[in-house]
Copies of this chain bind each other. A is one copy, B any other.
């Protein structure tokens, strides 16, 4: 059976690329109201492809861009159900003049498909659409039930997704979620991501004098909000790069020896990592490797600083205000609400007399780590190995994918984060692309995944 499916995938591979190019031609930039109609067109395109594949599919209206929902439940109650999530919206293409070929004119060069959204996430999402088509056309059925939720607001905070998920909680019941919106660990080194960091945001505004003061006439006699803010930020870390907020590490689960060993065994080339980022040396919390720092340790980073005079040349003022955008990345078991408060309290403690503080907070999601030894993980690993010819590595990811936390909280679902692309595919940057080999391997891995998930549930259906 899987042989028929794979044959179908191979025979129709060129058509799949042409269809993906059609989708990529639609400039579905969710963040820009000018492209509202294009977002709707992209949703329609995805719905139509799902229906053509053999799913029942509909457009679900939201307060923003619509969500595409599709399902095929013919595998029956005994078979597991997979909830596939993806998004049809894309980042703005700016700066336009850095694109070699226009962002919405998909172009193949060197066996890579260049277009905004090629990998994030139209291309990766499309592998699942095509794999279910292959099963339904070549085998007449799928080994599992599938539900597709393809949204159009991932690049703008998924504002209307949570409500959709909550309202359709029963309809969306599933055994495992599947998302292809991450990357391989390296070219030809496929990966399953089993952990994500959480995050929280605090913007702190330090106000001093009612207006900017002449630094000659008044400097030295009142606290300078910018100097004070710098001192508050500096206090956040000790000399060893550890965060000094009281209680910050209290709930952090220690890394197991097994996990440290697993991370240490990954083929990570620190020199080329640093070279890729354009920095001459690593820096971070003492006692941890670079990968441990990225994936398993909490952080507190400044994301933005603003105070006083930002133009050219000198302007000698004591600024009236200074502000910083801060965010923490959290690891299991840290509580974003509690730590948001602790961060604000700590900043307040380190402020100077005569200054007022204002906070804008947004506790983000908790960190998530899935059991790397679960049957679902094993199933995904087998599927990827079959398609890529090599066993995937198990990795964690320093970023956050909010929908994964929502799936856990609202639907009680774990997620398989199986990414076919590469972190060099220029996501969110000019000249985004998707290597055709990765796209095709992705369709095969996806097709295999449905069989392996059924097998993992005890239904021997690997073809």
Contacts and interface: CB of A to CB of B under 8 A. Distances in A.
Contacts of A354: 274, 279-283
A356 B280 CA distance: 9
Given A217-B294, A219-B294, A221-B284, A314 B306 contact: no
Interface in A295-332: 297-310, 314-319, 322, 324-325, 327, 329
Contact of A305 (B293, B294, B305): B305
B227 A290 contact: no
A208 interface: yes
Interface of A: 197, 199, 201, 203, 208-211, 213-224, 226-227, 229-237, 274, 277-285, 290, 293-294, 297-310, 314-319, 322, 324-325, 327, 329, 352-356, 362, 397-400, 423
Given A223-B283, A329-B219, A354-B282, A308 B303 contact: yes
A220 B306 contact: no
Contacts of A219: 294, 299, 301, 329, 398
A305 B299 CA distance: 22
Given A314-B203, A315-B303, A352-B283, A399 B309 contact: no
Nearest to A362: B314
Given A213-B277, A280-B353, A314-B325, 20 more contacts: A208-B279, A210-B277, A215-B327, A216-B397, A219-B294, A219-B299, A219-B398, A220-B301, A220-B398, A221-B283, A227-B236, A230-B232, A231-B234, A234-B235, A301-B318, A303-B314, A304-B308, A304-B309, A305-B322, A306-B307
Contacts of A300: 227
B226 A305 contact: yes
A56 B299 CA distance: 71
B304 A226 contact: yes
A208 B280 CA distance: 9
Contact of A218 (B232, B277, B319): B277
Contacts of A423: 217
A445 B393 CA distance: 86
Sorted nearest first, the 4 A-B pairs with minimum C-beta distance are A216-B399, A210-B278, A234-B234, A230-B233
A221 B281 contact: no
A362 B300 CA distance: 34
In this complex, which of A222, A231, A235 has the most chain B Cβ atoms within 10 angstroms of its Cβ? A222
Nearest to A276: B210
A448 B215 CA distance: 34
B302 A226 contact: yes
Nearest to A298: B220
A311 to B, nearest CB: 8
Contact of A199 (B216, B279, B294): B216
Given A209-B279, A234-B233, A399 B310 contact: no
Nearest to A306: B310
A212 to B, nearest CB: 9
B222 A283 contact: yes
A105 B216 CA distance: 31
Contacts of A211: 278
A220 B297 contact: yes
Contacts of A362: 314
B209 A278 contact: yes
A317 B305 contact: no
A322 B355 CA distance: 23
A108 to B, nearest CB: 26
A293 B227 contact: no
Contacts of A316: 199, 201, 301, 303, 327
B229 A305 contact: yes
Contact of A282 (B221, B227, B285): B221
Contacts of A220: 284-285, 293-294, 297-299, 301, 329, 398
Contact of A230 (B208, B280, B302): B302
